Structure 1
């Protein structure tokens, strides 16, 4: 099963359990009343650098660094729309991954802005790419710990996998 389908399947299960979606009504259903947590408390590990996506305390910067399960490196995936767009929220700051006007990836308060919506694209193996719906570019692990937007290509610097606390994939 593709990564995107796995996250969407989990999201539909959550919505059904919460009574926000009834069986058979999925095609008619509009967006949920707000973003719905799909997976919470996992690391986003870059395949190329083997570092994790993190936030820098007191700044809006998203960076890559050591994979330690502290809150600055833990994320939750929130279903933002029924067509499979997600918000990616940091557990320490509460901010959402945001595509800036330039190449930088930052975090900002979670709201309905399109700059905070991402589509998961299947990568090689059990990996995925995170593509901004605004810029059409993907979260990329660059040199010196930087995280930027880059052309979406199935290459290691743009491929990520989720790792739950304890080592399992969500």
Structure 2
């Protein structure tokens, strides 16, 4: 890439100095060249690998209290409907239907982002305020998700368990941690970034 840029500059300088003395450029063939590649992978391929095996979703229904709110019962802010749909799809891939467990997961992902990278980045990018203000009530689903992430940003990991006592599952039990470690290794070797 650098060589191409240097050659283009040389050609342009040669055209601009047509009647003047010529200047010569030296290109070092031993200089390192950095190449970048874009890998586009659907999230529907990565997220199911992080869901624990063993029928956890059936066990979760027995552990979570019946009084727990369901995401589909809350107010969906129309400006953030796309982000909410993606978040609900992510939680479905992780077999996590309970709102309190979703909130606890978001809290823990925000509390220690380096421990849960790159999955934490996937969730946190959906919680950006890109489409204006949100309704700040407990009935607003996007507000509940953002509040959970804000709680995690401001607190250590242990606070998330007390902030969301209706969910008995920590993020380490919700996510398949050995597979996450593989994703982290791949991410470190390939300099993987989520945009």
The two structures share one fold, judged by TM-score above 0.5: no
Q: What TM-score, normalized by structure 2, do the two folds share?
A: 0.27
Q: Could you say which structure has the greater relative contact order, defined with CA pairs below 8 angstroms and 6 or more residues apart?
A: 2
Normalized per residue, the structure richer in strand is 1
Greater Rg over alpha carbons, structure: 2
Normalized per residue, the structure richer in helix is 2
Q: What TM-score, normalized by structure 1, do the two folds share?
A: 0.29
